[in-house]
Amino acid sequence: MRLTELIHGPSVIAELQATDRNGVLREMVQSLADHGVVAQEAVETIVRAAIARENQGSTGFGKGVAVPHVKHECIKQMAATIGRSSRGVDFAALDRAPVYTVVLLLSPGHAPDAHLGAMEKVFRHLQRESFRRFLRQAETREAIVELIQEADEAHEE
């Protein structure tokens, strides 16, 4: 699976408006709904599930990145989006530093293996310091999508 197959480019948010974790989750899920990836009537359910997941333990793994993820029956297809905050958001990250890049992954409840595979793909890319730095510096949706395409091309499996 390539990042470009997973991350829905039109729903990428180059500058998040929300300034807190729950607001960021809501904004990102809404972006996916606005672009037809998830049903509008499922937004609140997905947001509540994402917040509940965060309350179990932060998905802010440090280095300015968080990867909130949700598995739920109301999600029909696996999809992800990226949100960028130039101000930084408190995600209660492991290193206690603000989060500047958020990768939200949504998966159907019946596909745990695909969910784990997608998480592994996302984390593999986010482990690279240059990828994280370029994501943080990208100021437009187009620049973020281009970076994802370049990452796929540079790391073909």
Residue 156 pLDDT level (bands cut at 50, 70, 90): low
Report the number of distinct structural domains present in the chain. 1
CATH of the domain at 38: 3.40.930.10
Strand-strand pairing, 65-66 and 60-62: antiparallel
Average pLDDT along the chain: 93
Mean pLDDT value across residues 134-147: 94
| Cα 157 to chain centroid, rounded | 22
- Model pLDDT for residues 24-79, shown as the tens digit of each residue: 999 999 999 999 999 999 999 999 999 999 999 888 888 999 999 999 898 989 99
pLDDT of residue 122: 92
Domain that holds residue 94: 3-154
Residues 79-112: tens digit of each pLDDT: 999 999 999 999 988 899 999 999 999 999 888 8
How far apart are the C-alpha atoms of 153 and 2, rounded to whole Å?
Answer: 9
